[in-house]
Amino acid sequence: MPGIQLNTGQDMILHLVDGKLPTRVEIMYWTDGKLFNLSRLKAKTKVTTTSIIELQYADDNVVCAHSEEDLQATLNTFAEAYEKPGLSLNIEKTKVLFQQAPAMPGIQLNGVTLENVDHFRYLDSHLSTKVNIDAEIQHRLSSASAAFLQMKQRVFENRDIHRDTKVLVYKAIVLPTLLYACETWTIYRQHTQLLEQFHQRCLLKILQISWEDRQTNVRLLEEAKTTSIEVMLLCHQLRWTGHVVRMPNHRLPKQLLYSQLKNGKCNVGGQEKRFKDGLKANLKNCGIDTENWEALALECSNWRSAVTSSAVEFEEAQMEGEREKHAKRKLRQATLTGSTFCLETDVSIAEEHTD
Q: Is 124 in the same domain as 138?
A: no
Q: Is residue 355 part of a domain?
A: no
pLDDT tens-place values along the chain, 355 residues long = 566 655 544 444 555 556 666 667 889 999 887 899 888 888 888 898 888 887 877 677 788 888 888 888 888 888 888 787 777 888 888 888 887 766 767 888 888 888 888 888 888 888 888 888 999 999 999 999 999 999 999 999 999 999 999 999 999 999 999 999 999 999 999 999 999 999 999 999 999 988 777 788 899 999 999 999 999 999 999 999 999 999 999 999 999 999 988 877 766 666 788 999 999 999 999 999 999 999 999 999 999 999 999 999 999 998 888 888 878 888 887 787 665 544 444 444 344 444 4
Q: Is there a single domain that holds both residue 11 and residue 33?
A: yes
Nearest to 7 by CA among 169, 115, 129: 115
Which among 91, 110, 128 is the end of a domain?
A: 128
350 inside domain? no
Within-domain flag for 206: yes
116 and 157 in a common domain: no
Please identify, among 185, 208, 226, the residue that sits at the C-terminal boundary of a domain.
Answer: 226
Range of the domain at 88: 2-128
**Phi-psi map region of 285: left, alpha, beta (phi>0 left; psi -120 to 50 alpha):** alpha
Q: Give the chain's end-to-end CA distance (angstroms, integer).
A: 82
Shared domain for 32 and 124, answered yes or no, is yes
Identify whether 100 is part of a domain.
yes
Same domain, yes or no, for 170 and 260?
A: no
**pTM listed for this prediction:** 0.84
Q: Based on the fold, state whether residues 242 and 170 are members of the same structural domain.
A: no
CB 103: neighbour CB atoms within 10 A? 7
Q: Which of 106, 128, 150 is the last residue in one of the domains?
A: 128
